[in-house]
Amino acid sequence: MGRVFVTYLEGRKYSCKYCRTHLASADAVLSKGFQCQHGRAYLFDKVMNVTTGTKEERMMMTGIHTVVDLFCTGCGSLVGWKYETAPEKNLRYKVGRSILERMKLLGPNGNQYLADEENQQHIESDGEDEVLL
């Protein structure tokens, strides 16, 4: 077992809920309007300290996307996924970008998100929801 290389972030960031490894800068958030099986999810321009799983096609609300799962390098937890391809031109902005599930994160203030708090009433208005089918 070698030492796991971990990048540390300065400033506001999102961390793994389980081991507090830094996963993404708060500045890298592109959208907070995504949905996954476990509730709300955020789209990030870039994330760090993750390893990727194998490519697979996954049916989502907006169509079939090729994605890879993202695992925290600190503890191996599944924390989200990254888009490799998108079915439509207007969805291509997601390609190369990553989703982190909010339930798996500690927020910029070290706060932990609770299940479904605030979820239901805001979801409809974001227009960018992504649901795994």
Select from 16, 28, 50, 60 the one that contacts Zn ion (CB under 5 A): 16
| Residue 18 engages Zn ion in binding (rule: CB under 5 A) | yes
| Residue 19 engages Zn ion in binding (rule: CB under 5 A) | yes
As measured in angstroms, the least distance from the Cβ of 49 to Zn ion is 8
Cβ–Cβ < 8 Å for 43, 52:
no
Q: Which C-beta is closer to Zn ion: that of 19 or that of 132?
A: 19
Map the footprint of Zn ion across residues 65-124, applying CB under 5 A. Answer: 72, 74-75
As measured in angstroms, the least distance from the Cβ of 20 to Zn ion is 7
DSSP labels for 22-87?
Answer: EEEEGGGEEEEEEEETTEEEEEES---SEEE---EEEEETTEEEEEEEEEETTT--EEEEEEEE-S
> Given the rule CB under 5 A, which residues bind Zn ion?
16, 18-19, 21, 72, 74-75
